[in-house]
């Protein structure tokens, strides 16, 4: 094993206050190490992250906190606990740490918050793929702020979200947690989430830095063989935006190894890039058990102590969820293998974060006596995001349902609350281990929501999400014959590590709908009753049979786990009380065998006459139908711009239909010639625009030329001079109008102060 050479002369973390410096100088080694670990007080037998090899934590909680503690791990999010009772316990525990440890430093409390605060009775919002489908950073920021407000109210300081992994292969189970396959959409929406959460006084944590979603064959914890250009141009930009533009305060490493180097042991990524080049000055926390994995999964360390030193010197400051490897650092300091100055830098970062959060001066006198983690604001935002994110994929004039007679709600997800929520929702993540425990909040199913809207609704399951039991299909088919329309609700059941069809550890080698669900849909369609297929999923499935076949369902609606208000939102959309406005944040795949695929492919990555396989998606990135129509015209742009400057572009969009609706204006770039191959289309700007019937708006973009940057042959991020075609259309595959832009001057190399974000202005006629 090779230990990274440490710069022992380097000072404490930059910007550290005199108070923190004084604290570090006063601390014993045991007190320092205590600040660099978490402790999972409530961890039981539930499998939340399978560990290969022996987990070494055996110290009891009281013994582990004698010298203080860095983090308390998921005190609300491990089992169903009443939030008021738990807050009383937490306030008391923080007082104990202040009064019964020598330095009196409270613990930082972290929780999951990907689809809302992962706690019993807390609101559950749409999954991140739905954030991407909304193309609405503003709403996502409001959602994150509401989540942060709830967390801060009950004493939580850090949230383990957002996930900024760029979707590369829908077979990967954690696609459920991702925002989009486009780095700019991931970056803008992820940064909005960071701003929202941190505006409420809760530090966001970027996951999973970096490359995690590029695993081979879409397998979790699998090797990543991304080249440096893909790493720089696809995987890293969202993280850079969240660091430089969002001011994020925490980052979590990826479990992955990239070309043989585990990220948790990469000073090139965690220190040289993240801190020295990007200027990140927050804390880096390990993904759960990631330090131990350097020994047991990656084999780059022979002992727990070696694993701990590799991670610490690479740039990981805090070991989560508990003290498996970092306590072994004491022995390495004593032997002279590790300079104590390395530990001091990590401790300074942890204490600086606690100081920033107000923990060093907190009194913990009055715990909250009444808590509402699912108030009216939460529900209104959950409804808004669910409504904006549903994507209409097909409509043969059956939607909206005007005055239907009997509606048959069929399918395993039609009357399932769990089917509305993602893998990291508290219900699917934790309550699955506590059968019989109530949800703790209202979450109407699709069937319940339709029953509240229409007078005659009947239901049948037909089949389960998984399995081969066809016994219920015949009855469901007969029920469909009695109805004027059948709403067949199919898709996923989110879970972890084999419990469910999507989610962490639930990867797929097929992109067909699980179980017998396709058979159920096709047999209901064969009755002649018009069918509306509603998909509640955490990944895109191969749906050519449902979308391109004239004899398929009359309408198809895609909802990516729309959360607690997903049922009412979908009922409103089906009824025509609202107009669909979601757009696909990922390409809809043709088959599992066509993966991995991204719309950001060069010419050679598309369809051609020299291969018998066709990777063309069934529906392209950015696609989405509506109950109204839009015209995009009068596209204008500056004729030329110097490669290091910004240029203006504008387009007029008009609602040409008879219903209020929202268009997502998408501006793409196409570059025919460059020094390295470029995508046939690249999203450079977007804007969500609400319009009344007949209303027009001019959408003006101020676009930094850095949006056209890429890594050249020497791996410099540059903007090259040359011709660029700008296109506006309803998706990446459609062109309404196009104009030319000429980049002039010498090749421009991007620097740390270059803008990365497009300014958008909407002027209504």
For 737-761, the pLDDT digits (tens) are 999 999 999 999 999 889 989 999 9
Q: How far is 690 from 119, CA to CA, in rounded Å? A: 34
In a domain, 243, yes or no: yes
pLDDT for 608? 84
Q: Which residues contact 76 (CB under 8 A, 6 or more apart)?
A: 83, 86, 111, 117, 118, 119, 120, 154, 156
Range of the domain at 748: 630-764
Model confidence pLDDT, tens digit, residues 691-745:
999 999 999 999 999 999 999 999 999 999 999 999 999 999 999 999 999 999 9
d(CA 523, CA 514): 16
User: Are 211 and 307 members of one domain?
Assistant: yes
Summarised one tens digit per residue, pLDDT across range 96-108 is 999 999 999 999 9
Q: How many residues does the chain have?
A: 765
Residues 343 and 426 both lie in one domain:
no
Sign of the CA dihedral with 123 first, then 381, 115, and 586 last: positive
Confirm whether 5 is domain-assigned. Answer: no
Cis omega (within 30 of 0) for bond into 596:
yes
SS3 category, 503: coil
Does the structure show a pLDDT above 50 at 3? no
User: What pLDDT score was predicted for residue 173?
Assistant: 97
CA distance 24 to 29: 10
Which one from 165, 176, 287, 344 is the annotated catalytic residue? Answer: 287
Domain closes at, from 546, 561, 581? 581
Residues 169 and 280 in one domain: yes
Determine the Cα–Cα distance for residues 128 and 131; give it in Å rounded to an integer: 5
- Indicate whether 540 and 667 sit together in one domain: no
Q: Are residues 354 and 489 in the same domain?
A: no
Say whether pLDDT at 6 is over 50: no
Does residue 396 belong to any structural domain of this protein? yes
CATH number of 691's domain: 2.60.40.10
At which of 581, 608, 642 does a domain end?
Answer: 581
Q: Which helix (H) or strand (E) holds 486?
A: strand 485-491
Model pLDDT for residues 552-576, shown as the tens digit of each residue:
999 999 999 999 999 999 999 999 9
How sure is the predictor about 52, in pLDDT bands with cuts at 50, 70 and 90?
very low
CA dist 239 and 223 (Å) reads 20
φ/ψ of 646, rounded to 5, equals -115, 155
For residue 450, say if its preceding peptide bond is cis, omega within 30 degrees of 0.
no
Lowest-pLDDT range of 11-20, 379-388, 588-597: 11-20
Strands 250-253 and 283-285: parallel
Whether residue 395 is contained in a domain is answered as yes
3-state secondary structure 259-295: CCEEHHHCHHHHHHHHHHHCCCCCEEECCCCHHHHHH
Phi, psi of 337 (to 5 degrees): -75, -25
Q: State whether 129 and 256 are in the same domain.
A: yes
* Together in a domain, 173 and 254: yes
**Number of compact structural domains in the chain:** 3
- Rounded CA-CA distance 108/690 in Å is 41
Choosing from 67, 157, 203, 221, the catalytic residue is: 221
If asked whether residues 307 and 412 sit together in one domain, one would say no
Q: Are residues 193 and 246 in contact, defined by beta-carbon separation less than 8 angstroms?
A: no
Assigned domain for 609 exists = no
* Same domain flag for 190 and 308: yes
**Domain end marker among 564, 581, 598:** 581
Which helix (DSSP H) or strand (DSSP E) does residue 560 occupy? strand 555-560
And the tokens for 53? Answer: 């090899």
Is 287 catalytic? The answer is yes
For residue 456, give the CATH number of its domain: 3.40.50.1700
Is 221 an annotated catalytic residue? Answer: yes
DSSP assignments along 607-630, one per residue: --TT-S-----SB-TT--B-SS-E
335 assigned to some structural domain: yes
Contacts of 301-310 spanning 24+ positions with Cβ under 8 A: 301/1, 301/265, 302/1, 303/328, 304/56, 304/328, 305/329, 305/331, 305/332, 306/1, 306/3, 308/332, 309/3, 309/337, 309/338, 310/1, 310/3, 310/4, 310/264, 310/265
Kindly report the CATH number assigned to the domain that includes residue 198.
Answer: 3.20.20.300
pLDDT at 733: 97
Contact 625, 395 (CB under 8 A): yes
pLDDT of 4 > 80? The answer is no
- 306 inside domain: yes
The pLDDT-based confidence of 54 (bands split at 50, 70, 90) is very low
Q: What pTM value is reported for the model?
A: 0.96
Work out the mean pLDDT of the chain and round it to a whole number: 95
Q: What is the pLDDT of residues 532-545, one digit of tens each?
A: 999 999 999 999 99
Same domain for 404 and 353: no
Residues 280 and 324 in one domain: yes
Q: How far apart are CA 83 and CA 93, in angstroms?
A: 15
Do 263 and 114 fall into the same domain? yes
Whether the pLDDT of residue 169 is over 80: the answer is yes
Asked, for residue 289, whether it belongs to a domain, the answer is yes
CB atoms within 10 A of CB 642: 15
């Amino acid at each position: 094993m090779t230990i990274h050479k440490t710069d022992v002369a380097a000072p404490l973390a930059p910007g550290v206050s005199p108070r923190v410096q004084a604290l570090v100088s006063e601390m014993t080694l045991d007190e320092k190490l205590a600040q660099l670990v978490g402790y999972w007080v409530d961890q039981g037998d539930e499998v939340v992250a399978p560990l290969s090899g022996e987990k070494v934590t055996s110290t009891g909680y009281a013994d582990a906190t004698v010298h203080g503690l860095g983090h308390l791990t998921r005190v609300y999010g491990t089992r169903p606990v009443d939030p008021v009772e738990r807050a009383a316990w937490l306030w008391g525990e923080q007082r104990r740490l202040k009064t019964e440890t020598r330095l009196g430093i409270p613990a930082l409390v972290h929780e999951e918050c990907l689809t809302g605060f992962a706690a019993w009775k807390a609101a559950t919002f749409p999954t991140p793929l739905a954030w991407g489908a909304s193309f609405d950073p503003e709403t996502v920021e409001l959602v994150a702020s509401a989540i942060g407000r709830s967390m801060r109210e009950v004493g939580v300081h850090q949230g383990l979200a957002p996930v900024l992994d760029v979707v590369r292969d829908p077979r990967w189970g954690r696609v459920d947690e991702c925002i989009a396959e486009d780095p700019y959409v991931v970056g803008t929406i992820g940064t909005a989430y960071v701003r929202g959460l941190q505006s409420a006084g809760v530090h966001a944590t970027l996951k999973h830095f970096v490359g995690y979603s590029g695993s081979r064959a879409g397998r979790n914890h699998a090797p990543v063989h991304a080249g440096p250009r893909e790493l720089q141009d696809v995987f890293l930009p969202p993280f850079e935006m969240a660091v430089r533009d969002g001011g994020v305060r925490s980052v979590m490493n990826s479990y992955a190894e990239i070309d043989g180097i585990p990220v948790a042991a990469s000073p090139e990524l965690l220190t040289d890039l993240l801190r020295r080049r990007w200027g990140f000055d927050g804390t880096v926390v390990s993904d759960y058990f990631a330090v131990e994995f350097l020994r047991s999964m990656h084999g780059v360390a022979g002992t727990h102590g070696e694993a701990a030193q590799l991670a610490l010197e690479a740039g990981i400051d805090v070991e989560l969820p508990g003290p498996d490897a970092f306590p072994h650092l004491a022995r390495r300091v004593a032997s002279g293998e590790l300079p104590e100055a390395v530990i001091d830098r990590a401790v300074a970062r942890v204490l600086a974060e606690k100081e920033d959060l107000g923990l060093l001066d907190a009194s913990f006198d009055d715990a909250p006596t009444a808590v509402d983690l699912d108030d009216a604001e939460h529900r209104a935002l959950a409804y808004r995001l669910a409504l904006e994110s549903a994507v209409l994929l097909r409509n043969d004039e059956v939607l909206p349902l005007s005055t239907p007679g009997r509606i048959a709600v069929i399918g395993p997800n039609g009357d399932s609350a769990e089917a509305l929520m993602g893998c990291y929702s508290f219900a699917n993540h934790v309550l699955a281990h506590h059968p019989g425990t109530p949800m703790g909040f209202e979450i109407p199913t699709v069937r319940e929501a339709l029953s509240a809207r229409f007078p005659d609704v009947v239901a049948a399951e037909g089949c389960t999400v998984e399995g081969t039991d066809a016994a219920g299909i015949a009855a469901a088919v007969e029920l469909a014959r009695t109805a004027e329309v059948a709403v067949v609700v199919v898709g996923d059941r989110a879970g972890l590590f084999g419990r469910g069809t999507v989610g962490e550890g639930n990867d797929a080698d097929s992109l067909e709908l699980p179980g017998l669900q396709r058979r159920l849909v096709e047999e209901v369609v064969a009755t002649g009753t018009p069918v509306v297929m509603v998909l509640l999923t955490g990944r895109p499935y191969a749906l050519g049979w449902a979308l391109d076949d004239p004899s398929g369902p009359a309408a198809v609606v895609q909802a990516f786990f729309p959360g607690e208000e997903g049922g009412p939102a979908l009922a409103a959309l089906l009824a025509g009380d609202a107009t669909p406005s979601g757009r696909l944040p990922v390409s809809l795949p043709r088959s599992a065998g066509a993966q991995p695929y991204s719309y950001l492919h060069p010419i050679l990555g598309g369809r051609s006459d020299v291969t018998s396989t066709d990777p063309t998606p069934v529906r392209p990135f950015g696609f989405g139908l509506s109950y109204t129509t839009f015209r995009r015209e009068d596209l204008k742009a500056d004729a030329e711009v110097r490669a290091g400057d910004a240029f203006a572009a504008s387009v007029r969009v008009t609602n040409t239909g008879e219903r209020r609706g929202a268009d997502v204006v998408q501006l793409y770039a196409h570059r025919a010639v460059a020094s390295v191959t470029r995508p046939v289309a690249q999203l450079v700007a977007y804007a969500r625009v609400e319009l009344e019937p007949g209303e027009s708006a001019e959408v003006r973009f101020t676009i930094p030329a850095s949006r056209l940057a890429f890594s050249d042959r020497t791996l410099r991020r540059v903007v090259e001079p040359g011709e660029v075609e700008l296109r506006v259309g309803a998706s990446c595959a459609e062109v309404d109008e196009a104009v030319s832009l000429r980049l002039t001057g010498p090749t421009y190399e991007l620097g740390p102060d270059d803008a990365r974000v497009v300014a958008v202005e909407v002027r209504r006629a």
